[in-house]
Amino acid sequence: MESSKNMKIVFLNKHQESETRGVETFLVELASRLSSNNDIEIISKINYFKLLTKPFNLIVPTNGRGQVVLIRLISWLRGKKMLISGHSGIGLDDRLNLYAFPNTFVALSTKAKDWAKKTNPFVQVEKIPNGIDIKKFSKKGQKIEIGLPGPIILSVAALTEQKRLELAIGAVSKLKKGSLLIVGSGSEEEKLKSLAEKLIPGRFKIMAFPYKDMPKVYRSVDLFTYPSVPWESFGIVLLEAMASGLGVVVTNDPIRTEIVGNAGIMVDPTNTNEYTSALQTALDTNWGNKPRKQATKFDWNIIACKYEQLFKKLLK
Q: What is the pLDDT of residues 279-297, one digit of tens each?
A: 999 999 999 999 999 999 9
Query: Cα dist. 13→59, 75, 105, 232 in Å?
Result: 11, 17, 17, 19
* pLDDT cut 70: percent of the chain above it: 98
Calpha distance 289→305 (Å, rounded): 25
pLDDT over 50 (residue 3)? no
Q: Which amino acid is at 267?
A: V
Calpha distance 55→304 (Å, rounded): 22
**Domain 152-296, CATH class in plain words:** alpha beta
The pTM of this model reads: 0.90
Which residues are registered as beta bridge partners of 155?
182
Calpha distance 92→255 (Å, rounded): 18
By the 8 A CB rule, do 126 and 107 touch? yes
Taking the CA atoms of 59, 62, 63 and 69 in sequence, report the sign of the dihedral they define: positive
State the pLDDT at residue 258. 96
Instruction: Return the number of other C-beta atoms located less than 10 Å from residue 284's C-beta.
Output: 8
pLDDT over 50 (residue 4)? no
pLDDT over 50 (residue 248)? yes
Element (H, E) at 9: strand 8-12
Calpha distance 311→58 (Å, rounded): 8
State the pLDDT at residue 37. 87
pLDDT, tens digit (0-9, with 9 covering 90-100), for 250-273:
999 999 999 999 999 999 999 999
User: Terminus-to-terminus CA distance in the chain, angstroms?
Assistant: 10
pLDDT, tens digit (0-9, with 9 covering 90-100), for 110-159:
999 999 999 999 999 999 999 999 999 999 999 999 999 999 999 999 99
By the 8 A CB rule, do 206 and 186 touch? no
User: Thinking of the domain 4-131+299-314, which architecture would CATH place it in?
Assistant: 3-Layer(aba) Sandwich (3.40)
Name the residue with higher pLDDT: 116 or 22. 116
User: What is the per-residue DSSP string for 152-192?
Assistant: EEEEE--SSGGG-HHHHHHHHHTSSS-EEEEE--STTHHHH
Q: Which amino acid is at 21?
A: R
Percent helix, strand and coil across the chain, each to the nearest 5: 40, 15, 40
Mean per-residue pLDDT for 216-239?
95
Domain boundaries, the chain: 4-131+299-314, 152-296
Closest CA to 10 of 316, 283, 315: 315
State the pLDDT at residue 18. 75
